[in-house]
Amino acid sequence: MSTPDPLEPESSRNTADRPLVDPESLPDERTAEAALRPQTLSELIGQERVREQLELVLQAARRRGRAPDHVLLAGPPGLGKTTLALIIAAEMNAPLRVTSGPALQHAGDLAAILSGIGEGEVLFVDEIHRMSRPAEELLYMAMEDFRVDIIVGKGPGATAIPLQIPPFTLAGATTRTGLLPGPLRDRFGFTAQLEFYEPAELRRIVDRSAGLLGVRIDGSGADEIATRSRGTPRIANRLLRRVRDFAEVRAHGEVTLEVAQQALALYEVDALGLDRLDQAVLQALCSRFAGGPVGLGTLAVAVGEERETVEEVAEPFLVRQGFLIRTPRGRVATPQAWSHVGLTPAAQAATLPWE
pLDDT higher for 305 or 34? 305
- What domains are there in the chain, each with its CATH number? 47-193 (3.40.50.300), 199-266 (1.10.8.60), 276-349 (1.10.10.10)
Over the range 19-32, which residues count as b (16 or more CB within 10 Å of their CB) and which as e? eebeeeebeeeeeb
16-74 pLDDT, tens digit each: 344 444 444 444 555 656 678 888 888 888 888 999 999 999 999 888 888 888 999 99
| pLDDT for the residue numbered 30 | 58
- Would you state the pLDDT for residue 25? 44
Is the omega angle on the peptide bond into residue 293 within 30 degrees of 0, that is, cis? Answer: yes
Residue 81 designated active-site? yes
**Residue 82 falls in the annotated catalytic set:** yes
pLDDT at 296 over 90: no
For the question of residue 175 being annotated catalytic, the response is yes
Q: What pLDDT, in 10s, does the model give residues 180-198?
A: 888 888 889 899 999 899 9
Can 169 be counted among the known catalytic residues?
Answer: no
**Average pLDDT of span 303-311:** 83
Sequence-ordered list of residues with C-beta below 8 angstroms from that of 111, at least 6 positions apart, any chain: 138, 148, 150, 163
Q: Which of 83, 97, 126, 174 is catalytic?
A: 126
Q: Which of 81, 97, 238, 244 is catalytic?
A: 81
Amino acid 205: pLDDT: 92
Rounded CA-CA distance 244/263 in Å is 9
- Picking from 285, 281, 325, the residue whose alpha carbon sits closest to that of residue 303 is 281
- Which of these is catalytic: 234, 241, 244, 331? 234
Tens of pLDDT, residue by residue over 127-156, are 988 888 888 888 888 888 887 777 665 656
pLDDT value for 350: 44
Is residue 320 annotated as part of the catalytic site, yes or no?
A: no
Residue from 83, 169, 175, 232 carrying the catalytic annotation: 175
